[in-house]
Amino acid sequence: MALLNLTIKQLHQKLVDKEVTAVDLVNEVYARVDAVEDKVQAFITLTKETALAQAAALDAKGIDATNVLAGIPIGIKDNIVTKDILTTAASKILTGFEPVYDATVMTKLHEKDMINVGKLNMDEFAMGSTTETSYYAKTANPWDLSRIPGGSSGGSAAAVAAGEVSVALGSDTGGSVRQPAAFCGVVGMKPTYGRVSRFGLIAFASSLDQIGPITRTVEDNALVLEAIAGVDVHDSTSVPQPIADFTTDIHKDIKGMKIAVPKEYLGEGVQAGVKARVLEAIETLKGLGATVDEVSLPHIEYGVAAYYVLASSEASSNLSRFDGVRYGYRSPEAHDLETLYTKTRAEGFGPEVKRRIMLGTFALSSGYYDAYYKKAQQARTMIIEDFKKIFADYDVIVGPTAPTVAFKSGDYAKDPITMYMNDVLTIPSNMAGVPSLSVPCGLSENMPVGLQIIGNQFDEATVYRVGQAFETATNFNELTAEL
């Protein structure tokens, strides 16, 4: 646990100085997993044999002093495909699926000699905000095992918060990296749409999904995003941008920066304790020399409704490929083509996934397309324009990541609408395609609160700079869960 509490740069120096080996770090991961996994249940699959073999080979070759990520263990959300390693998206319908190729982000991590120690639990097909819809297990929040860790990247955030890994990858469609990062007291980034290749990410909503890192510190997060960012010939939605550099200016001060605080982000529905911590964070940013003004994002009130129409519509299309024909689960009761489809999908998908498929299919159906899907796209355009207007005058937008702290497991199991509303503050960033970072900003009810820092498209460097300045001034990232 002591080793995994160190930053990536600190671990790198120990590896270069041969104070520890890559095998030591991997063994530290699995020792911690053995100690806490029965409580947290963050992993679906562990890759101990291959991880130790990779670490031993790396030690034999020698750690590259110029590659800060070499030998660093990382956990991977289970909707990112990994060659020859079970990949389930936490769904029964992908039982036994071992991909024959790696996602682009995995190829990039392998090039950096990072070591995949296992696949992390999630809401089934990333549909949920609690990591309770997983077919395999319900992940617990390390800060309070009776509470949820958030979702859908709850396994990724919980593993980092529990000290099982110091770095994990998640995916964010409507807040699925940032909300669990906030609930678990760690750092989570949703990059600009197109910044990171989605090739090999099992799609939920293709126009919204982005892969992002979860870490303990802002600088660690920036280092990992630098490694996985970039255009990809396999993904037509990835955008050709200059080679990512998020760390050169990360330690510069933020004097003179202009910060916008939307009044809608601190309105009705935000818990008093969450609001208090965020207002204190804003005062800290003022103390660091930034100017702060209240602004308005008038159309985000349509964000949740528009998001669930668009995301569910895309999901109904993306999930049609899971039919029992080519891979994964096949119903033993199927005796012809029609029952193969109907029984496999009925038995293989969980209730939340079925709910969203039906909602999306309805929204796209003849007679309802214009009333729902088209209107949702129009609302999305208005939200994009709201952000453009603010970023014409301001460097970043700040507010709470989530309106509440992590809630008790089972609280929203029979109330999906309330669960959906928990994403009200994160969804707008996905709708607009802008980068958004959650950093710890204190405690309420002895549970972590997240400060959300939103930037203009492809301006992750400024977002990280503000996050780093806040982290350095407060050290809230040093607060850890006690298991």
Express each pLDDT in 160-180 by its tens digit: 999 999 999 999 999 999 999
Tokens coding 312: 């569910």
pLDDT for the residue numbered 4: 85
CATH homologous superfamily of domain 3-255+434-478?
Amidase signature (AS) domain (3.90.1300.10)
pLDDT for the residue numbered 422: 81
In whole angstroms, give the CA distance from residue 397 to residue 259.
6
Q: Any idea what DSSP says for residue 140?
A: -
Q: Is 146 exposed, middle or buried (0-12, 13-18, 19+ CB in 10 A)?
A: exposed
Query: What percent of the chain stands above pLDDT 90?
Result: 93
Express each pLDDT in 459-470 by its tens digit: 999 999 999 999
User: Of residues 134, 171, 176, 312, which has the active-site annotation?
Assistant: 176
Average pLDDT of the chain is: 96
Domain ranges of the chain: 3-255+434-478
Instruction: Tell me which residue of 165, 185, 149 sits closest to 475, measured CA to CA.
Output: 185
In whole angstroms, give the CA distance from residue 203 to residue 435.
19
In whole angstroms, give the CA distance from residue 408 to residue 420.
16
Question: DSSP letters along 52-101, please?
Answer: HHHHHHHHHH---TT-TTTT-EEEEETTB-BTTB---TT-GGGTT---SS
Q: Are residues 251 and 286 in contact, defined by beta-carbon separation less than 8 angstroms?
A: no
Q: Are residues 219 and 9 in contact, defined by beta-carbon separation less than 8 angstroms?
A: yes
- pLDDT tier, 268 (very low <50, low <70, confident <90, very high otherwise): confident
Tokens coding 158: 């919980």
Asked if the model's pLDDT at residue 418 lies above 70, the reply is no
Active site residue 152: yes
pLDDT for the residue numbered 415: 66
Tokens coding 171: 């995916």
pLDDT for the residue numbered 244: 87
Strands of 121-269, DSSP E: 167-172, 187-190, 210-215, 258-262
Give the bridge partners for 454, in sequence order: 397, 436
Q: Which of 87-101, 276-290, 403-417 has the lowest mean pLDDT?
A: 403-417
CA geometry: angle 151, 196, 406, nearest 5 deg: 15
User: Of residues 129, 134, 152, 312, which has the active-site annotation?
Assistant: 152
